[in-house]
Structure 1
Amino acid sequence: MKRPRRAAAGLVLAFLALQPPAARATPPGFGGPFTLIDGAAGGRTVTEQTYRGKFLLLFFGYTNCPDVCPATLYKLAQTLKQLGSAAQNLQTLFITVDPARDTPAIISRYAALFSPAITGLSGTPAQIDRIEQEFHIYVGPTDPKTGAITHGTLLYFVAPDGTFLTAYPDTFSVKSLTAQLRARLSTH
């Protein structure tokens, strides 16, 4: 029953993401507490509190994704490069939807291939399920032949106090996302 609810939430977010920034309203109930594992930090446990005081940009995907995830991570890396020092108050997280294959070490190394400023996080299936629920991430069944996983591709932007601000579609241009993030980051 939670899959249709996630799909509906994803559609709402997709609609909001396509609206001009001034027209967007923050939907209630997005985000919340989480506990995950940072493989780059020696398997250290991280929570939403670890990142308090920084803006968060979250992207959910998996390392075996053949197209959307690597393309989005590449554009995120370019955006972070364009932001330069303006990104010092921004933490970008790549969170797996495939904890069985994406161990903390694997996802951390993968994220670092795109940018050292992108932190790859994994966790137990229960931990991943919880954050998927908190952000209403659609995750479909795994294709038994290819291992491909259908999943939502929005980027979630969270304020330093943990408040969900907006979502961006994975179809963003580096120029557009850089400008939008620069404007948001300069307000704090």
Structure 2
Amino acid sequence: MNRRLLPLLIAATLLVVAAAGWVTFEASRKSAGGAQGAFGSAFRLTTMNGEPITEAAFRQKPSAIFFGFTHCPEICPTTLFELDGWLKKLGPEADGVNAYFVTVDPERDDAATLKAYVGNVSDRIVGVTGEPDKLAAMLKGYSVYARKVPVEGGDGYTMDHTASIYLLDSKGGFFGTIAYGENPDTAVEKLQRLAKS
């Protein structure tokens, strides 16, 4: 690994962890007091299969939602792989949970790119993309942190972003999060409780 990139990666990781804590706090604050309605905001985006998707999809049955991007070097592929494995551990219970990977990088992550990326990991997680302004509004409505970070010495960029999986109950209410690096047994228990919500 390039030694000049190490401080950037460490700083990015610390930002992601801090953002995850803030998101959990914000989500808890927004849904304090229990059943106050659905978490987040209205949106109209596109799945990796080219189909329209709105906030109604998060209110049909419990949902596990991860926000990431296909050029992510570690956090996103690891989280997708783990989420797929945890859902497999649930067995038939997993049929009661929808799982989504929403890009925070719509400029590079079109539907075809998402389909190839997510499809390499899971056949039950649905990728979601859309026009940059619509996605930005959706991320804001769900208290998701995402920011472009230029790559040192290059023309490209990476993304700092919330690294937690959001859990929403069957009415779209905030149910909790699974943190990046969380104990796998705890993550499976959270998904089991989610499936019954």
TM-score range, shorter chain: 0.7 to 0.9
* CA RMSD of superposed structures (Å): 2.2
Report the alpha carbon displacement of residue 165 of structure 1 after superposing the two structures with TM.
1.5
Pairwise mapping of residues 56-75 of structure 1 onto structure 2 (< 5 A)?
56-75=63-82
User: Quick one: which of 134, 146, 161 aligns to 1:151?
Assistant: 161
Indicate if the aligned counterparts of 1:60 and 1:152 stay in contact, CA closer than 8 A.
yes
d(CA) in 1 for partners of 2:95 and 2:78?
23
d(CA) in 2 for partners of 1:70 and 1:8?
20
Could you tell me which amino acid in structure 2 is paired with residue 36 of structure 1? L
Could you say which residue in structure 2 is the equivalent of 1:177? 187
Report the alpha carbon displacement of residue 8 of structure 1 after superposing the two structures with TM.
8.1
Corresponding residue SS for 2:120: helix
Corresponding residue SS for 1:128: helix
User: Matched residue pairs, number?
Assistant: 171
TM norm structure 1:
0.82
Could you say which residue in structure 2 is the equivalent of 1:26? 28
Indicate if the aligned counterparts of 2:59 and 2:171 stay in contact, CA closer than 8 A.
yes
Indicate if the aligned counterparts of 2:20 and 2:163 stay in contact, CA closer than 8 A.
no
> Which has the larger displacement, 114-123 or 43-52?
43-52
d(CA) in 1 for partners of 2:147 and 2:113?
22
> Which has the larger displacement, 85-94 or 176-185?
176-185
TM norm structure 2:
0.78
d(CA) in 1 for partners of 2:134 and 2:184?
31
Runs (5+) with no aligned partner, structure 2: 1-16, 32-38
Q: CA offsets, 1:56-84, max 9 Å, x none?
A: 11100000101111111111111011011
Deviation beyond 6 Å, 4+ runs, structure 1 = none
Could you say which residue in structure 1 is the equivalent of 2:176? 166
> Which has the larger displacement, 44-53 or 80-89?
44-53
Corresponding residue SS for 1:161: coil
d(CA) in 1 for partners of 2:75 and 2:19?
20
Runs (5+) with no aligned partner, structure 1: 1-6, 17-24
Could you tell me which amino acid in structure 1 is paired with residue 40 of structure 2? G
Corresponding residue SS for 1:182: helix
